[in-house]
Amino acid sequence: MNSSSINWTALGVFIFFFALVTVMGFWASRWQSGGSANKGAHLDEWGLGGRNFGTWITWFLVGGDFYTAYTVIAVPALVYAVGAYGFFALPYTILVYPIVFLIMPKLWHAAHKAGHVTAADVVFGRYKSRKLELAIALTGVVATMPYIALQLIGMEVVIKALGVTGELPLLAAFVILALYTYSAGLRAPALIAFVKDLMIYIVVLVAVVLVPMKLGGYGVVFASAHDAFAAKGGMTGLTLKPAQFLPFATLALGSAMAAFMYPHTLTGIFAAKSADTIRKNAVFLPAYTVLLGLIALLGYMAYAAGVKVEANNDIVPALFNAMFPSWFSGFAFAAIAIGALVPAAVMSIGAANLFTRNFWKPYVNPNVSAEGEAKVAKIVSLVVKFGALVFILFLPTKFALDLQLLGGVWILQTFPALVFGLFIGWFGANALLSGWAVGIIGGSWLAYADGIKPVHTFHIGADSYTMYTGLIALAINIVVAVAVQLVFGKGGAKTPALKH
């Protein structure tokens, strides 16, 4: 493979599909806009697609939004690098669904009844605390920014694999994305998600059948990976070392709890037509998890195919370039790049909704009309995307990765404030705010002291326990919230039980 020259066939296929979704993106503003009560300019329209997405649209949207392009690049890269340990993505994306099933229909009811658009809206509605609302909104926006930047990295990797150099293509792709998100709102990624998901399904199903067939079967794939890890010294392998058990399990659980605290995943929930839509999706969304597990195995196939790369993130594009004709590589890279557009759009919409509802409305213009809200959110979505682009173009990639990792720790700290109130009325706003603050500071400090690593090791006597830092911070968060509630929470600070 000569990566310095442009692969014209692949590029042609890539541009065709990119152009197709661009047209769809602009057309999307007219799609599914019939049945809503708030026709025209309203944040519910632009920011939540009219709150009218049924089971199918939600399935494609949340699937396209949660399993991001970066996942397709980074999960196989991690599995390629560290073996079984990188496979925590599978239990993570399985366990997320019982959690979604139990929590998200309740959250939907709370949001639907009061017309809430964001997580911070729900928290304010529940606790009537502007401080707690701001804490949740700020965490959401800050955790989302590096996540958008990561999608750009995913797009950068495939553009590079097409043999195209320079930053202009990325810039062009992003300007297009920004414009149709501005004009069509959540409907654009919802419509594009259909194309993206179908393309990714085709790419992955073809890859996981054809690649092992060419290489001699899955037995050979696993055996090559096994030998490669053994040759590297056997620190990692096809199964976990005992020291990896606890980090593996806590990363899976912590990530599963954090996944639907992000603005982009919650936007998919709030945009659903009914609680039943969400319950059905908890049953059917695991189909994407099968896909993710298969994608992860591409990391092992790279060993069997003898693919060598300088950066682990190039492993999937390099594997496709080595195994497939260039038209199919172009199709696969288009699938990944479009796979970056969907989450990037929903993330910027989620962040824009938070800014508008939980910062602009309470602090800048309390009398803002529904139409004014939509205007502000549209402009903010441009600013957010531009910020992510500047991030990628002018700062080292590692910075975005580190911040994304910290973002995961931070967003998990919003779990008690957002979720506990749906089930019990015992906690007051101050207790939850204290827990959040200590969780954010403690988690960041632990991660920083460890050199921005996702796991922290405790030494108790001769034993050591390594766990996901976000989960440790969440434990501290909850302990502090309980303690503050016990000490200061007597009397009126409790929150009335939720009824619907």
Partner 1 sequence: MRLLLLLPFIGLLWVPFYNDELPALFGFPFFYWYQFMWVPLTALIIWIVYKDGLRKGIE
Site residues, partner 1 (CB under 8 A): 84, 87, 90-91, 94-95, 97-98, 101-102, 109, 212, 217-222, 238-240, 242, 245, 248-249, 252-253, 275, 279-280, 282-284, 286-287, 289-290, 293, 297, 500
Q: Using the structure block, give the residue that is written with the tokens 């040759």.
A: 231
Look at residues 342, 316, 338, 329 and name the one whose alpha carbon lies nearest to residue 11: 329
Q: How far is the CB of 276 from partner 1 (least distance, A)?
A: 8
Helix (H) or strand (E) holding 458: strand 455-460
Q: Using the structure block, give the residue that is written with the tokens 């370039």.
A: 321
Look at residues 143, 117, 120, 141 and name the one whose alpha carbon lies nearest to residue 131: 120
Q: Whose Cβ is closer to partner 1: residue 58's or residue 151's?
A: 58
Q: Whose Cβ is closer to partner 1: residue 113's or residue 490's?
A: 113
Q: How far is the CB of 220 from partner 1 (least distance, A)?
A: 8
Q: How far is the CB of 422 from partner 1 (least distance, A)?
A: 14
Q: Whose Cβ is closer to partner 1: residue 93's or residue 358's?
A: 93
Q: How much is the CA Rg of the chain, to the nearest whole Å?
A: 22
Q: Whose Cβ is closer to partner 1: residue 250's or residue 430's?
A: 250
Look at residues 124, 125, 119 and name the one whose alpha carbon lies nearest to residue 104: 119
Q: Whose Cβ is closer to partner 1: residue 102's or residue 370's?
A: 102
Q: Whose Cβ is closer to partner 1: residue 219's or residue 325's?
A: 219
The string of DSSP letters for 44-106 reads HHHHHGGG-B-HHHHHHHHHHHHS-HHHHHHHHHHHHHHGGGGGGHHHHHHHHHHHHHHHHHH
Q: How far is the CB of 210 from partner 1 (least distance, A)?
A: 15
Q: How far is the CB of 250 from partner 1 (least distance, A)?
A: 9
Q: Whose Cβ is closer to partner 1: residue 141's or residue 257's?
A: 257
Ramachandran bin of 163, using left for φ above 0, alpha for ψ from -120 to 50, beta for the remaining angles:
left
Ramachandran bin of 309, using left for φ above 0, alpha for ψ from -120 to 50, beta for the remaining angles:
beta
Q: How far is the CB of 187 from partner 1 (least distance, A)?
A: 27
Residue type, 255: S
Q: How far is the CB of 468 from partner 1 (least distance, A)?
A: 12
